[in-house]
Amino acid sequence: MPPNSNRQARADSVLDTVNPLTARKCRSVPACIALCAFALSLPAAPAAKSKGSASTNEPRNRKSAPKDLTSPPLDAADITELPDGTERLEIFLLMGQSNMKGRGVMPEDPRRDPRIIMMHTRSDGYFLARHPLHLVGSPIDFSRADNAGVGPGLAFAESISAARPQSRVLLIPCAVGGTSLGKWKKGQRLYDQTIRRARLAMNQGPKGKTRIAGALWLQGEADSGTPERRAAYGEGLDRMIQDLRADLDRPDLPFIACTIGEAKEDIEGRKAINKILLELPDRVPHTACVDGREFAKFIGDEVHFDTATQQEHGHRFAAKYLELVR
């Protein structure tokens, strides 16, 4: 077989493993096949870089994957069909920075529940949900993974699934560590990618049985450091929620925020951000805020929440959501 044919066959195999829907649509477009194959770490020579430059495909300071990231591969899920006993697909967006992405220690045995699925951050493929939800590495062997761990998303989904057993839950992880609110404004890459992926899932889910059900927000550390950013935070957050609802055609989309940690040196700045977050329901209808200040504990850096805290955050996110939609 000629070299190009061999590479084509390998790309097809990867696409089938990640997302059969995407594979069927992309095979007719060679550029799409090449892109998807690259995204899943097919062998490629590293790009040459000038001194002081950084690759556009690799973060400058990529952190090593945690040792508790075990048991590959991810288990593929078919988004077009509903599991027995479920009647609808409910999509939730996980937005924010590193604490939404998660740094908590992962359980030894990954969860594998067909009623709770996730979209892979790089390939847009669908898999049974497990930690880390924000996996940036290959879904086949986890190569090129970063330091994402346990965030609140999976505990949230478990609580929603228990309370609404007829719903299948799809989590779309969108968070990126270190990002300020300005990176989430309409027209910025993170916002636009969130909208794109939400619409993609809507179009690929069961027709007439799929909806964008809510958005979770855990962010604010990156905006706590200066008076200017703190002063602009409330108005900016409210505007982002308004834009999100308009672009997803959900004017009453439930949006639940969560307080950030107050253990770092700039505690006054973080308290100011938390005040804005806690006052969100007074400013914007169909919103809520989880207050985790009394039970929050950290992994040792006074910034990132530990696993127990993230689990509790997730359950409280779910409780707030269920209050909003009852």
Q: What is the CATH number of the domain that holds 118?
A: 3.40.50.1110
Structural domains counted in the chain = 2
Helix (H, G, I), strand (E, B) or coil at 122: coil
Query: Does residue 34 share a domain with residue 92?
Result: no
For residue 316, give its domain range: 88-325
d(CA 234, CA 251): 19
Q: Does 283 lie in the same domain as 178?
A: yes
186/287 same-domain check? yes
30-39 helix and 3-18 helix, angle to the nearest 10 degrees: 70
In a domain, 47, yes or no: no
- For 221-255, the pLDDT digits (tens) are 999 999 999 999 999 999 999 999 999 999 999 99
Q: pTM for this one?
A: 0.82
In tens, the pLDDT along 107-164 reads 888 889 999 999 999 999 999 999 999 999 999 999 999 999 999 999 999 999 999 9
The rounded distance, in Å, linking the Cα atoms of 262 and 270 is: 6
Of 17-26, 216-225, 281-290, the range with the lowest mean pLDDT is 17-26
CB 263 within 8 A of CB 231: no
Cβ–Cβ under 8 Å, residues 268 and 262: no
125 and 31 in a common domain: no
**Are 112 and 130 contacting, i.e. CB atoms less than 8 angstroms apart?**
yes
- Whether residue 157 lies inside any domain: the answer is yes
- 27/102 same-domain check: no
Half-sphere exposure (CA, 13 Å, Cβ side) for 153?
A: 42
The conformation of residue 107, written as its DSSP 8-state character, comes to P
Are 9 and 92 in a shared domain?
no
If asked whether residues 24 and 116 sit together in one domain, one would say no
Write out the two tokens for 90.
Answer: 């409910």
Helix (H, G, I), strand (E, B) or coil at 55: coil
